[in-house]
Amino acid sequence: MNKLKNSVYFPGTRVWTMVLVVAMSLAASGTLRAQCTGAGAPNNTDTRCVTAIPIPGNALRAYDISWVDAERGLYFLADRSNSGVDIISTRTNKWIGRAGGFVGVKGGNSTSGPDGVVSHGRWLYAGDGDSTLKVFDISDPTNPVLKNTISTGGKTRVDEMALSDNGKLLLAANNAEDPPYATLFTANGDEDEDSTSIIRGHITVDSAILPPGLGLSIEQPTWDQERKKHRDDDSEEEDDSTGLFYVSIPTIANNPMGCNDDSSKGAITCSGGLLIINPADLNHTTVQPLNECGPNGIAVGPNDNLLEGCTPGNEPSNTKELVINGDTFHFVNVGGITGSDEVWFNGGDTRYYTASSAQIGGAVLGVIDATTNLLVETIPQSSGSHSVAADSKRNSIYVPESAPAVPAVVGPPAIPAKPGDTTNVGAGICGTNNGCIGVFTNSRRHDDD
C-alpha cells in the first residue's frame, strides 16, 4: 500500500481500492475537469464555448481539414491521429462514427492523411497521403462504407477540395507536388451508386506565374455558383448548372514586380494569387494577383465575395486577411487577424470564421462580420488550431483542439516527443488532455430541428 501515495485508506476496509478505480475510470472517460473553461472560453465575447466533443481512440494531435453538411446535421474531421475521418452529429454534438483506412501520420505533412474532406448527401470524399481520393457511402454515417479509391498520379497527398453545389463536380489539389496540380472529378451528386472518376488530371498554373523547383503550392479551393435566371412568361427559374472554382495560391512570381519567390534566397516577399478554373473551359485558367496576402484558406461569402485566409507562414509580412469580390476583384484588407489555414462562411450568422494558428500572440478563432468586412473578435485556441467549420442551420462553430504536447524522454526507454498544444487553452476547452472538438455559438443561435 505504500506505493499508492495518492490513495485514501481507511483501516479495516478496502475503500482505497474503490477510490483508485473510480479515479482511473474518470481519467479514462475524460471527465476529471469541466469543459469550456480558461482562456478559450472568455465570458466577454459574443462567441462562446458551449461544449466539447471527445474523440475516441488516440489523443487528437494530428488533424487537417473539417467540413459540415448542415442539411444532414453532420460534421467531418480529417483525423490523422486515428487514420480516419471522424463523423459527428451536429444535432446531438456526439461522435457517431469514423471512415477509416487512411495512412495516418506517415513521414511528413505532405504524405500523411486524411487531408481535405467534403461531402454531399450520402457521399463523403477525402484525400489521402498516398495521392488518392477515397469515396465513402455514408447513408448510415455510423457505418461508412468505402466505395472507391482513385489515384491522382502523384507521390504526395490529395489535399484540400471543393464540390459544386449539386455535388456533381469535385476539384482536389495536390499541393505538395512540384509543380502542384489540381484534379477535376465527376462526383456522385444525389445518385445512389458511385461513379466518381477523373475528368481532367494535372491542371497546372503557367510556370511563369508559379515557377517549378521552388516548392510553391496551391491550397484550398472553393466553388462559387453562377445563377442565371430564365424568364418563362411571368415566372423565373434559376439555372444552377454553371459556376467557377476559385483556388488560393500562397505565392506567385512578380507580385509585386521584383519580389522574392525563392525561400532559399531569403524571406518570401511575393504575395499570392487567386486561381480561377472554369469547368466548361479547362484549357484556359487565369490567376488574379492578391494584395499583401499569401493565402491558404478561402470561403465564399455574400455577393460573390471571397475571404482569403492570409498567413505569415506564406508571406512573413502578412498582418491582415483579405476579402476580394469574385466578379470585380475589388478588395478590402481586414485588420487585426492573420495566420489562417481553413476559413469558413457561416450563413447562419453572416460571419466568416478563421482558424488562425499563426496569429501573432497565439492561435485564435477569428470572427469577421461578412456584411462590413470588419473583425468582430478573436477567441484563443490550442496551439496549431488550423481547422474550422460551421453548421449554418444550428449556428454552431466547430474547432478541433489539440491535445497537449509531450516532450521527448531520453530514457531508457527513449520516448519521442509528441507535438501538440503548448498552452493550457485546449485542455481548458476540452476538460481533458486528449484533445476534442470545441463547439462555439453566439447570440444569433437558432435551432431548426
Characterize 256-291 residue by residue with b for buried, 16 or more Cβ atoms within 10 angstroms of its Cβ, and e for exposed.
eeeeebeeeeeebbbbbbbbbbebeeeeebebebbb
> What pLDDT is attached to residue 398?
98
What tens digit of pLDDT does each residue of 234-286 get?
444 444 457 999 999 999 999 999 999 999 999 999 999 999 999 999 998 99
Reported confidence tier of residue 378, pLDDT bands at 50, 70, 90: very high
> What pLDDT is attached to residue 241?
55
Lowest mean pLDDT among 25-39, 159-173, 364-378, 416-430: 25-39
> What pLDDT is attached to residue 4?
31
Residue 144: C-alpha distances to residues 73, 149, 161, 192, 327 (Å): 16, 14, 20, 14, 39
What tens digit of pLDDT does each residue of 161-181 get?
999 999 999 999 999 999 999
Residue 156 has pLDDT above 80, yes or no: yes
Give the residue from 71, 157, 45, 163 showing the smallest Cα distance to 110.
Answer: 157
**CA–CA separation, 385 and 397 (whole Å):** 14
> What pLDDT is attached to residue 447?
54
**CA–CA separation, 123 and 108 (whole Å):** 28
What tens digit of pLDDT does each residue of 394-447 get?
999 999 999 999 988 888 888 888 899 999 999 999 999 999 999 999 987 655
> What pLDDT is attached to residue 328?
95
How close are the terminal C-alpha atoms of the chain, in Å?
A: 54
Mean pLDDT of 72-80: 98
Gyration radius (Cα) of the chain, Å: 23
Q: Which residue type does 331 have?
A: F
Give the residue from 41, 82, 89 showing the smallest Cα distance to 64.
Answer: 82
Lowest mean pLDDT among 90-94, 100-104, 222-226, 260-264: 222-226
Share of the chain above pLDDT 70, in %: 88
**pTM for this prediction:** 0.90
> What pLDDT is attached to residue 1?
33
- In degrees and rounded to multiples of 5, residue 215 shows phi and psi of 75, 25
Cell numbers for 59: 489523443
Average pLDDT taken over every residue of the chain: 90
**Beta strands 273-277 and 286-289: pairing type?**
antiparallel
Other C-beta atoms closer than 10 Å to the C-beta of 5 total 6
Q: Is domain 34-226+243-441 annotated with CATH 3.30.200.20?
A: no
Reported confidence tier of residue 32, pLDDT bands at 50, 70, 90: low
